[in-house]
Amino acid sequence: MSVAEALRAKLEAAFAPAELDIEDQSARHGGGHAGHREGGETHFRVRIVARAFEGRSRVERERAVHALLKDEFAAGLHALSLEIRTPGEAAR
């Protein structure tokens, strides 16, 4: 399973998102950049919209995502750019 597939599976299972977009941006962080690895899958942008984030601060939302993906970070995931919204926030 690719890193992107693992991210998708875990995020869907944990947060039941209404929207989920995962983009591998590893190519933008090539040679010489910390965390760079041949084959990519080290830097991702994630946009997730889910009711599960209602009532949580931005920091609480990000901590929840990072905690969920701790195994991926341990295995070489280097960076996530996160946009985490509730359905009400996404509609604005």
Task: State the pLDDT confidence band at 46, using cuts at 50, 70 and 90.
Answer: very high
CA distance 56 to 24: 26
Find the CATH number of the domain harbouring 58: 3.30.300.90
The conformation of residue 77, written as its DSSP 8-state character, comes to -
Q: Determine what percent of the chain is predicted with pLDDT higher than 90.
A: 68
For residue 12, the tally of other CB atoms under 10 A from its CB is 13
Residue 9 has pLDDT above 90, yes or no: yes
- CA-based angle 1:39:34, to the nearest 5? 115
Residue 58 has pLDDT above 90, yes or no: yes
Q: Which residue has the higher pLDDT, 54 or 31?
A: 54
For residue 10, the tally of other CB atoms under 10 A from its CB is 15
Q: What is the dihedral of CA 76, 31, 81, 21, to 10 degrees?
A: -80
Task: State the pLDDT confidence band at 57, using cuts at 50, 70 and 90.
Answer: very high
For residue 88, the one-letter residue type is G
What are the pLDDT digits (tens) for 10-38? 999 999 999 999 999 886 655 555 555 55
Residue range(s) defining the domain that contains residue 47: 3-90
- The pTM (predicted TM-score) of the whole model is 0.85
Number of domains in the chain: 1
